[in-house]
Amino acid sequence: MTMKNGSADCAICGAKLEYLDNAEAIPCTYCGTSGASRSRCPAGHFMCDACNDGDAMTIIEAVSLSASTGDPISLAELMMNHPNLPMLGCEHALIAAGALMAALKNSPYGKGKIGDQEIRESLERAGKQVVDGSCALTGVCGISPAIGACFSIFLGVHRGSDREQRITMEAVSRVSQTLAGMTGPSCCKAYVRASLMEAVTIFGERFGIALPVGNNRITCRHSEKHPHGCREVECPYFEKPAKDIFAEMKFVPGTVCTT
């Protein structure tokens, strides 16, 4: 199952599907389980029936545990492109935590230190911190403490910790400051991207950990779904419409003046 709303488009990236004469076994982009399909996304995306029908929380955990990449941004984008994920909602805090912890697990720095147990722990901790609409209720986006949970687990913070807790709180403060600069109105998807980029920067600065971010130019595919109105050109992830620079000019490209 790869179609989007019964159309001939990929549910994950929106590309036109290629139809096959015979069914092929294709691994699910979300859980890795192979399934037979007579259609194929040119980018290789495929979604099995279980993931297609699954709720957002199940998908987030499945992707976080099965991922093999160390790029947290690409993992977050994959989760945010799932058709069952709402445009806004506290699920995005778990996406941020799961993507960051999975990236750490798959990096050379996480071997022997970050595993499935730590990923599940980050999702559980993040889930305890978020309540629907908490950004309006308390003024704190749940993504900030979700990133804090990742730093806390990575550093082994406990009651009575000194330097480790300070580093964690400084990281949460920096993430919150980053998100504060992107309000008006809030956008959970933009917040996930910005928070992960800030977290990647902090891990590089404080620990020399270089998490790969393959695509520095992120283009959002969800602008039209924002219930409160997308910030559009004020958002760094908005896909700006192409502008015809010759539209208001008399000059026509390809012509040569002979006078």
Asked whether residue 168 is domain-assigned, the answer is: yes
The pLDDT of residue 172 is 97
The domain total for the chain is 2
22 and 129 share a domain?
no
Task: Provide the 3-class DSSP secondary structure of residue 20.
Answer: strand
Amino acid at 159: R
The pLDDT confidence band at residue 190, using thresholds 50, 70 and 90, is: very high
Identify whether the C-beta of residue 218 lies closer than 8 Å to the C-beta of residue 193. yes
**DSSP letters spanning 156-170:** T--TT--HHHHHHHH
pLDDT in the model for residue 112: 83
**Average confidence (pLDDT) over 113-128:** 94
Residue spans of beta strands (DSSP E) within the chain: 18-27, 34-40
* Position 3 confidence tier, pLDDT thresholds 50, 70, 90: very low
Q: How far is CA 197 from CA 37, 58, 61, 216, in A?
A: 35, 24, 21, 9
In a domain, 249, yes or no: no
Residues 49 and 175 in one domain: no
In a domain, 115, yes or no: yes
pLDDT tens, residue by residue, 219-252? 888 888 898 899 999 999 988 765 555 556 655 5
80 and 39 in a common domain = no
- Residue 172 belongs to a domain: yes
Least confident segment among 26-35, 70-79, 82-91, 153-162: 26-35
Do the beta carbons of residue 156 and residue 133 sit within 8 Å? no
Per the model's pLDDT, the better-predicted residue between 214 and 38 turns out to be 38
Asked if 172 contacts 144 with a C-beta cutoff of 8 angstroms, the reply is yes
Quick one: 112 and 20 in the same domain?
A: no
Q: Do 206 and 87 belong together in one domain?
A: yes
In this prediction, residue 180 carries a pLDDT of 94
The pLDDT of residue 257: 57
Which domain does 183 fall in, by range?
Answer: 56-234
The answer to whether residues 123 and 41 belong to one domain is: no
Per residue in 90-129, is it b (16+ CB within 10 Å) or e — as a string?
bbbbbbbbbbbbbbbbbbebbeeebeeebbebbbebbbeb
Q: Up-side HSE of residue 43: CA atoms within 13 Å toward CB?
A: 13
Per-residue pLDDT band for 99 (boundaries 50, 70, 90) equals very high
Record the tokens describing residue 56, joined without a space: 């957002």
Instruction: Check whether 121 has a pLDDT greater than 80.
Output: yes
CA R_g for the chain: 21
Average confidence (pLDDT) over 102-108 = 95
CA atoms of 104 and 200, how far apart (whole Å):
10
Are residue 45 and residue 73 in the same domain, yes or no?
Answer: no
